[in-house]
Amino acid sequence: MNVTTVGLDLAKNVFQVHGIDSTGKVIVRRSLRRRQMIPFFGRLDPCLIGMEACGTSHYWAREIAKFGHEVKLMPPAYVKPYVKRGKTDAGDAEAIAEAVRRPTMRFVAIKSAEQQSVLALHRTRDLLVGQRTQLVNMIRAQLAEFGIVLAKGIQHTLGLVDRLVEGVVPDIPSLACKIVIVLAEQIRDLQLRIGMLEDEIKTWFRGNDLAQRLETIPGIGIITASALAASVPDPHRFTSARQFAASLGLTPKADSSGGRERMGRISKMGDRYLRRLLVSGMTSQLQSARRKPDAYPWVAGLLARKPNKLVAVAMANKAARIAWVVMTRGEVYRAHRPATEATV
C-alpha cells in the first residue's frame, strides 16, 4: 500500500483507519480491533500518522512510533472543523487525516511513560482532595444541624477529626455522633493516602532538574512545578511565552472587528488542572504582595484598581510565561531588579 498519511480515530476496542496517498486518494478505510492495531501498523511502510490527543493517545503514539512512523497528536478542538456532515468514526478518521497535513496545525507533544505516571499521581491526589472536601463539608453540615458551627478553614475541621477519632465527642445525640465519627475516620484515611501520594511526588521532584528550576518561581511550589514538568515534554513547541500561557487558557479572548479591538475574559481552554494550580498559587502569593507592596509594584498597582481574583489570574498568566522562559532557556528564576539598584 502506497499510504503516506493515516488518520486514526481512537476508541476502547474498535479503531477506525483512514489512509491516503500523496495525491489525497483514499487507499485504505477500515476498522481495526485492538489486537489488530500493532500488526497492521507493523506491516505499513513508515508514514505520517495523525491522532487526536486523548487519554490513550500517548500510549498508542509511543507504540506506533516504534515502527518508524511519524506520529502527531492534535487537540480535538482543532480537528473538529475538518469533520464533514454527520458524526461517525469513519468521518472522524478522515478529518484527522486532513487536519494532520495542515501546515498551520498545532500539535501536542507525546508524553513518556514516566511523565504519564507522575500525572497519574497528580490526578489521583486531586481526586482524593476533592473527596476530602466533600467529607469535610458533610461534617460541617451535620454539626450545624445541632448548633455547632466550625470556624472557616480546613485546619479547624481536621483538628475536630483528630479529636473525634481519639474519642472526644461533641454534645450531640449518640446516633448523630456515630455518623460524624464514620465521616471523621474516612477523612483520616484520606489524609494518610494524600500524604503518601505527596511523598511520591516530592521524591520525583527531587530527581527532576526541570521541576526544581520551576520551583524557584515565586508562587510555584513542588506540586505545581512537578505538574508543569510532567505536562510539558517539549516547551520549544510553543513559539513564545504568550502562546504557552494561551495553551493553559490564561490569556484573554479577543473580539476585534472594524479596527476596534476588545479583550474579554480568559479563554479557559487547555489544561484545566495546571491553570487551577497556577491561579491557586498566585492567590496565596497575593498575601505577600499586600504585606510588601514595594517588592511587588506591578501587583500593588493592579490591586488598587482590580478585584483580587482578577489580579491572581493576571499573576498566573505572568507566571506561566516565566515558566516557559525557565523551561526553554534551562535557567532558574531571577527576580527583576529596579534600574536604580541594577546600576549601583
Residues β-bridged to residue 6: 19, 49
DSSP 154-171: HHHHHHHHHHHHTT---S
Reported as a single tens digit per residue, the pLDDT across 299-325 is 888 888 889 999 999 999 999 999 999
For the segment 135-149, what is each residue's pLDDT rounded down to a tens digit? 999 999 998 998 888
Same structural domain for residues 249 and 263?
A: yes
Q: Indicate whether 105 belongs to any domain.
A: no
Residue 301 CB contacts under 8 Å (≥ 6 apart), including other chains? none
Residue 183 lies in a domain: yes
In a domain, residue 56? The reply is: yes
Q: Are residues 275 and 253 in the same domain?
A: yes
Return contacts of 244-250, CB within 8 angstroms, 24+ apart: 244/320, 244/321, 244/323, 244/324, 245/317, 245/320, 245/321, 245/324, 246/270, 247/271, 248/274, 248/275, 248/278, 248/320, 249/275, 250/275, 250/278, 250/313, 250/316, 250/317, 250/320
Domain count of the fold of the chain: 3
- Domain boundary residue among 206, 234, 265? 206
Do residues 218 and 267 both lie within one domain?
Answer: yes
Domain boundary residue among 155, 177, 206? 206
335 and 249 inside one domain: yes
pLDDT tens for 41-69 read 999 999 999 999 998 999 999 999 999 99
Query: In terms of residue numbers, what domain contains 198?
Result: 114-206
**94 and 13, same structural domain?**
yes
> Do residues 286 and 184 share a domain?
no
Q: The pTM is what?
A: 0.86
For residues 258 and 299, state if they share a domain.
yes
**What angle is formed at CA 310 by the lines to CA 261 and CA 301, rounded to 5 degrees?**
90
* Domain co-membership, 122 together with 181: yes
